[in-house]
């Protein structure tokens, strides 16, 4: 659905939360299906910096 309403210059960013609840096998399978996704866990403090960097570089089209 999103792709049908997006402009050409827009991107979809897949972000999976609560990744700490996944087994390694589940995480691996999801990463294969969605290779450019970001996985975050607030509980284990993982992925937040990656998400912030991706948002920044996508919006401002620069590499930090």
pLDDT tens per residue, range 19-57: 999 999 999 999 999 998 999 999 898 999 999 999 999
- Give 4-11's long-range contacts (Cβ < 8 A, gap of 24+): 11/58
Band of the pLDDT at 1, cuts 50, 70, 90? confident
pTM for this model (two decimals)? 0.75
Burial group, residue 39, by CB count within 10 angstroms (0-12, 13-18, 19+):
buried
Residue 10: what pLDDT?
A: 84
pLDDT score recorded for residue 58: 86
């Amino acid at each position: 659905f999103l792709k049908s309403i997006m402009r050409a210059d827009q991107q979809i960013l897949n972000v999976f939360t609560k990744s700490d609840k996944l087994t390694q096998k589940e995480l691996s399978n999801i990463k294969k299906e969605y290779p450019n996704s970001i996985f975050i866990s607030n509980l284990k403090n993982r992925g937040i910096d990656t998400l912030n960097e991706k948002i920044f570089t996508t919006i401002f089209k620069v590499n930090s």
